[in-house]
Chain A
Amino acid sequence: MDTIKKLVLCAVIAVVTFGIGYKVSDAYFGNRTPAQPIEFSHKIHAGDNQIPCMYCHSYAERSRVSGVPNVKRCIGCHSVIKPDSPEIQKLKNYWENKEPIPWVKVYNLPDHVYFPHKRHIKAGLECQMCHGDVQSMDRITRVSSLKMGWCLSCHTRKKVKNGRDCWTCHI
């Protein structure tokens, strides 16, 4: 009888801790450099060829989101530039099938945070301040923790007006 009780307790503990482990796995094993559907290199585009960030992420200074370039914009150049490379063949496939490219989000904020790109660009911040040395990355790696302390440290350092007010970001 006792043995069964102990076994059950063991099982319960294992199940509970399994749940906790499953839940927090992101925090410790979260991929900061996820594989993308196309091996797009920011190093080639933004680094070697000096294309400005906002040529592709064109909404950054006008909207909350910076925007991902639409497929038409990609194919616009790549119907001419290196059309035979295997990665660009992938792009071509998406375009011909009329499917958008399912990019994996690297910088993901929870819904209860209001983060406008527009304001940060207007304040004169460089994209690299948060997104790191993008022009040297082949595959994008998340360089910031995106935790609240990280936001606040910058808001405090730069003496942002109402920068420490809850309602500035949580509206």
Chain B
Amino acid sequence: MKRRDFLKYLGSGIVGTGVGLAFGKVTKPPGAKLIPYLIPPEDVIPGVATWYASLCTQCSAGCGILVKVMEGRAKKIEGNPLHPVNKGRLCARGNAALQALYNPDRIKGPMKRTGERGSGKYKEISWNEAVSILGRNLSELDKNGATEGLYVLTSTLRGHLNTLIREFMSSYGSPNYMQYELFQHRNLIYANRVSMGLDAIPHYDIANTRYLLSFGADFSSTWLSPVNLSHGYGEMRQGGARRRGVLVQVEPRLSLTGANADEWVPVRPGTEGVLALSIAHEIVAGGYYKGADASSWKELLSGFSPEHAARVTEVDAGRIHHIAKEFVKTRPSLAIGGDNLSAYRDGLSCLVAVNILNHLAGNIGRKGGVVPNPAGLLKGRTGTELRKDRITALAKSALEGDVKTLIVYNTNPVFTTPAGVKLERALRNVPFIASLSSFMDETTAMADLILPSHTSLEDWGDDFAEPSTGVRVATLMQPAVSPVFDTRGAGDIFISLAKALGGKVGERLNYKGFPEYLKESWRKIYANNKEVAAGALTFDGFWNRLLEHGGWWQTEEPRHKPRSVSVRRVKAHIPTSPSEFEGDEGRYPLYLVTYPHAGYLDGRGANLPWLQEMPDPMTAVVWGSWVEINPKTARKLGIKQGDLVTVESPYGGIDLPAFLYEGIRPDTVAVPIGQGHRLYGRYAEKRGVNPIEILPVAEDKRSGELALNSTRVRLERKGADGKLVKMGVRTEELGRGIVQTITPEEFERIAGKEEA
């Protein structure tokens, strides 16, 4: 390089730096701003958090939460340590509620449809206009004497919002208030009713049991009240000085709970009921059952010898005998039946069979067994009538033109019903649909009017957990932050609708707003219930304590009252043969198991990026869908890990990547539910597939509930790149001794030595 060139370069460098410095000085803003409050809100210290006790509504367990709020913004959610359901713990879904509150895809204000139905074209309108549009629609129905044409469909609400809607509907004159969710556990309630006359979900006292026989109940991730039951499981395994309990998991696909079990019994799908009755047969035949009606049980169960059951269920007869002996001899023991079971065409019967097991071993009403909850503070539940109040019935009424106006709140049936139900087509037949959803989802897209409601962190409400924990539990929901957008509480919307309607409805719901209704209702509970009122001098003092603690619950130990199952009652309900499956066995050789994803549940969590990022606990897959295939089956079909595979049922096909999974029977494949949203915000849309679409429109023979687990499928390899994204690559430990195991007996021996 010449000296002159060097100087030129140096010069341009110096000039460049100089101009850069000067430019930066001139153009950059003079630094961050310090913006003071104009008028400081009461009780706010910037930088110091305020914690509000409230209720989690991410699933129907009804956990108590504490919301950390700083400068009016919700920052973190923790479990409420005082709350008996979750005892200070919280699951991933509960944590992710923050992202529902601050989700960029929330509907920001009321909207009216302007384009074709389903086109997604909406115009923003004011709340006054929105309420008056719906009010006019309902007045017109009333004028034409067609009040029964009003249908309201919500999630499984249990608190005072439920009572409010019921009051609204009855004073308006419509019996058509329905609740629908994919995992509603109705079969469980029906089974308890027909077998032990208990019209509820009892508390399954896992914490105090010593032998837990679980038929496909994935209580660690999604079943009933996962935080409570997982905590109970921890107690059962390592609680205090008690002996470590045993968990036996009976399921065709190994779930997270199954992975924690001492024994996995990979039963043939649809035969769990037969297996349960065969275990019952062994209990009675072995003379372990001492009841007076032992002989009639013997007669009832005579067709379920282990030898016969072994052929049907593909579980060894010796193993059945062993489980029966352990189950009845270990005290206390407990049998539970999960979502897998209740979604067979024999779902109700399978759950009855599980109840029979609990009866024969004397587990009902005992500590460490099935503990019925005391009657709730609120009387009456909506929608547990057998064969009524079903989503298929709604679709039928809509098709026949009976549904004139539909109001939907907090449920997304278009996503969660099989395509065969043709709900979307039926809804097109409804003249007017209003959605109270905070998010544009598949059902809300059908709406003519959207009245967006608050998320749970902005709203008032309450809940009476079911299953509870053997005691009465009421949880209060209070706003932790002021509304982020121009939304309203669902209760407030109904009350302002009542005002717009006037007449009988307006008179019945003459409240300023939902908070006032809630407080008045609690005033009644306070006045009528000495136990609730105990320790409080005035209602206001009591109300403040409610807000402070996050609710009210009994603190004493649950009372145990034995119940029994009689032969007469269950005779007509027991499963006599394996559940039926759709699809010819030759053409569709594999069973399909669909299960709720640990993060998305029935699909509601798919719009929260934290949950999308969370690796599935068993497969470590993130962001997408997958189909679990046994490596043996995959080899036979020429399918490799990550290949794109078509899963085809008689009702349709879906394409998704293959995940080779040793924890599934070779004749079964499994697909998680939750992905495959057409609409539901940027994080959920066009991600994975929705297996519900290819599920059959089959019903439980006895209860009429949708039987989701009742189809066979076939697989076909479609291509090499299925775009399977997963955390971690290897599932083998390659002799590195990462997972150390010992047998329970060995553990007992060591533990015994240490104690001595």
Q: State the A residues within 8 Å of B (CB).
A: 6, 9-11, 13-26, 28-31, 34-35, 59, 62-65, 67-72, 95, 98-106, 108
9 pairs, A vs B, C-beta closer than 8 Å:
A14-B15, A17-B13, A26-B28, A34-B30, A63-B46, A67-B45, A71-B37, A102-B34, A105-B31
The answer to the question of B38 belonging to the interface, with a C-beta cut-off of 8 Å to chain A, is yes
Interface size on B, residues (CB 8 A): 33
Given contacts A6-B5, A59-B45, contact A31 B31 (CB under 8 A): yes
The complex places the Cα of A17 from the Cα of B9 at a distance, in Å, of 11
A-B contact count (CB 8 A): 129
9 interchain residue pairs of minimum CB distance: A21-B20, A25-B24, A17-B16, A64-B47, A14-B16, A63-B47, A18-B20, A21-B17, A68-B36
Q: Is the CB of B36 within 8 A of A13?
A: no
Q: Is the CB of A70 within 8 A of B30?
A: no
Q: Is the CB of A63 within 8 A of B45?
A: yes
From A21, A34, A106, name the one whose CB has the most chain B CB atoms within 10 angstroms.
A21
Note all chain B residues with C-beta closer than 8 A to A18.
16-17, 19-20, 23
Note all chain A residues with C-beta closer than 8 A to B13.
13-14, 17
Report which of B9, B45, B48 forms a contact with A13, defined as CB distance below 8 A. Answer: B9
The complex places the Cα of A162 from the Cα of B67 at a distance, in Å, of 31
Which residues in chain B, 88-129, are within 8 Å of chain A measured between CB atoms?
Answer: none
The residue of chain B having its C-beta at the shortest distance from the C-beta of A116 within the complex is: B47
The smallest C-beta distance from A41 to any residue of chain B, in angstroms, reads 17
Q: Is the CB of A25 within 8 A of B25?
A: yes
Note all chain A residues with C-beta closer than 8 A to B36.
67-71, 100-101, 103
The smallest C-beta distance from A134 to any residue of chain B, in angstroms, reads 15
Given contacts A9-B9, A65-B47, contact A21 B37 (CB under 8 A): no
The answer to the question of B18 belonging to the interface, with a C-beta cut-off of 8 Å to chain A, is yes
The complex places the Cα of A113 from the Cα of B529 at a distance, in Å, of 53
Report which of B16, B21, B31 forms a contact with A29, defined as CB distance below 8 A. Answer: B21
Given contacts A14-B13, A16-B16, A104-B30, contact A6 B23 (CB under 8 A): no
The smallest C-beta distance from B189 to any residue of chain A, in angstroms, reads 48
Q: Is the CB of B16 within 8 A of A15?
A: yes
Report which of B17, B20, B34 forms a contact with A104, defined as CB distance below 8 A. Answer: B34
Note all chain B residues with C-beta closer than 8 A to A108.
31-32
The answer to the question of B739 belonging to the interface, with a C-beta cut-off of 8 Å to chain A, is no
Q: Is the CB of A67 within 8 A of B46?
A: yes
The complex places the Cα of A14 from the Cα of B11 at a distance, in Å, of 9
The residue of chain A having its C-beta at the shortest distance from the C-beta of B15 within the complex is: A14
Note all chain A residues with C-beta closer than 8 A to B21.
21-22, 24-25, 28-29
The complex places the Cα of A106 from the Cα of B8 at a distance, in Å, of 40
The answer to the question of B35 belonging to the interface, with a C-beta cut-off of 8 Å to chain A, is yes
Note all chain B residues with C-beta closer than 8 A to A63.
45-48
The answer to the question of B143 belonging to the interface, with a C-beta cut-off of 8 Å to chain A, is no
Note all chain A residues with C-beta closer than 8 A to B23.
18, 21-22, 25
Q: Is the CB of A105 within 8 A of B24?
A: no
The complex places the Cα of A30 from the Cα of B29 at a distance, in Å, of 11
Note all chain B residues with C-beta closer than 8 A to A99.
38
The complex places the Cα of A13 from the Cα of B15 at a distance, in Å, of 10
The complex places the Cα of A63 from the Cα of B5 at a distance, in Å, of 59
